[in-house]
Each structure stands twice: as C-alpha cells, then as structure tokens.
Amino acid sequence: MGLVAGKVALVTGGAAGIGRASAVTFAREGARVAVVDDDAAGGEKTVAMIEEAGGTAVFIECDIADADGVECAIAKSVEAFGRLDCAHNNAGVEGPMALTAEYAESEWDRLMGVNVKGTWLCMRHEIPRMLFRGGGAIVNTASFAGVVGVEGMTAYSASKFGVVGITKVAALEYASMGIRVNAVCPGPIRTAMIDRLRETNPQAMADLLASAPMGRLGRPEEIAEAAVWLCSDRASFVNGHSMVVDGAFTAR
C-alpha cells in the first residue's frame, strides 16, 4: 500500500519541476491526481507520465492568480474524482533579482499575486471541499527564502514568508476540523528557476553552488517525497510546520 493509497490529490504547478515530481509521487503512492497548471503541454505530459506508470490523473488548465479560474479548477478536480483529500499548492514564480530600493513595483505585485494570493485562493476553495469530506491535508510550497532573508530576492522572499504565515494561520484555524496545513521549504533545487538564474546571473549561480553544504543542489523528487509524506497519515500529528528541505543551506 502506498502512503496515500485511495486518496485524491491536487497539485498546482504540476507541469514541470517540483510540481511534476509531486504529481508523479502522489500517483506512485496510490493517489488519483489532478494536475493543475497554466502550461497545457507540460501538464498533459505529466498526466501521460503518470498513466504510463499505471496511475490515474487528469490535467486542468488554470492560472492560480485568477480567482475564477482557481474556483473552476478545484470544482473540476472534485467532479473528476468525487472528492479532494490532499493538495500540494506548489505553483509560484521567482521574479528578477534586485536590491530592495530598486525593485520594480510591477514585479512586486506579480509575485504577491501569484505566490501569496494564488496560494490563498487555492486554499480558499480546497478547504471547503475537504471539510465536506471530514478532513484533509494541504501542503504549500514556500522556500528556504521564506525562512531566512536572501539578498536580491526581496519580493520572492517576502512572498514566501507570506506563504509560511498563511500556512500557520490556516493550520490553527482548521486543526480541530480535521484539516492539517503544512509548508515545504525547498532550498536551491535543479528546476527551470535555477536554469534561468544560471543564464541571467552566472556569478550568483556559481556562488550558490560554492556555498552548498552537501556540494550539490537538490532534486525535485526530494521535495516531492516530503510533500507527499506531509499529506499522508504517517504525518498525522504534523500541523502548522514549515519543513525545510535544503541540504543544510539554512543550518548556518
């Protein structure tokens, strides 16, 4: 039996990177999975990977910064599988690197709109569905930059601190109602975000690798394993926690 056998899981940002790894891991561990993303081609590829491995999944196109779209996506996932037990709200954007006083207002608003508001919108519609079934588990993707400050990432860091904050509040609010809410805080992971950093700021990338305590970056699958475990019954007393999975980046 898998960690989430018989459950229904929803994963946002499931078209690539951590989201894809999470969707595949949920399916491997026995869940039926709703893969949510605004990238249709990538999302459909994730579904195909799950189905090729013998799992069950559907793709739902959605921009999590769009309130109506999120409401529709959650409804479609429940329509497809009859209920919602687990959610990994993973979708997010990183934005450019810039000093705090030089950060563009438009970029600040974009990051807050996706990373904070988008995560809240997902929870806003997931929680009632879970309450209807008597409980559930939610994992939000924050970041190690939501635990410690990172120079040059003022909006990203602020948005991820925000994700940690709404995670803790929701955990307190719904603990007695059978819903657990946790966050996973990845360190630097080999994803498209890191590829963009390598292209736009190779020195920052070199510095990042040089400072890696384990001598490498993390893999998307390593974050997915933590997210799925947090949604499983084996984490039944873990609630309101921000689990840092960063290879000791923040241990200094």
Query: What is the full DSSP assignment across the chain?
Result: --TTTT-EEEEETTTSHHHHHHHHHHHHTT-EEEEEES-HHHHHHHHHHHHHTT--EEEEE--TT-HHHHHHHHHHHHHHHS---EEEE--------B-GGG--HHHHHHHIIIIIIIHHHHHHHHHHHHHHHT-EEEEEE--GGGTS--TTBHHHHHHHHHHHHHHHHHHHHHGGGTEEEEEEEE-SBSSHHHHHHHHH-HHHHHHHHHT-TTSS-B-HHHHHHHHHHHHSGGGTT--S-EEEESTTGGG-
Among 156, 161, 229, 249, the active-site one is 156
Of 153, 155, 140, which Cα lies nearest the Cα of 108?
155
Kindly give, in sequence order, each residue whose CB lies less than 8 Å from that of residue 6, ignoring residues fewer than 6 positions away: 30, 31
**Is 156 among the residues known to form the active site?**
yes
Write out the catalytic residue numbers: 156
